[in-house]
Amino acid sequence: MKKLFAEFIGTLWLVLGGCGSAVLAAGFPELGIGFVGVAFAFGLTVVTMAYAIGHISGCHLNPAVSVGLWIGGRFERKDLIPYIIAQVLGGLAGAGILYLIATGKSGVDIGGFASNGFGEASPGGYSMMAALVTEIVMTFFFLMVILGATDAKAPAGFAGLAIGLALVLIHLISIPVTNTSVNPARSTSQAIFAGGIYLQQLWLFWIAPIIGAILAGIVYNYVSKD
CB atoms within 10 A of CB 7: 31
User: 36 pLDDT exceeds 90?
Assistant: yes
The answer to whether residues 158 and 151 touch, using CB atoms and an 8 Å cutoff, is no
What does the pLDDT look like over 147-190, one tens digit per residue? 999 998 898 889 999 999 999 999 999 999 999 999 999 999 99
User: 110 pLDDT exceeds 80?
Assistant: yes
The pLDDT of residue 31 is 84
CB atoms within 10 A of CB 204: 19
The answer to whether residues 140 and 213 touch, using CB atoms and an 8 Å cutoff, is yes
CATH class label, 2-224: mainly alpha
What does the pLDDT look like over 56-80, one tens digit per residue? 999 999 999 999 999 999 999 999 9
Q: Residue ranges of the domains in the chain?
A: 2-224
The answer to whether residues 138 and 212 touch, using CB atoms and an 8 Å cutoff, is yes
What average pLDDT does the segment 125-134 reach?
A: 98
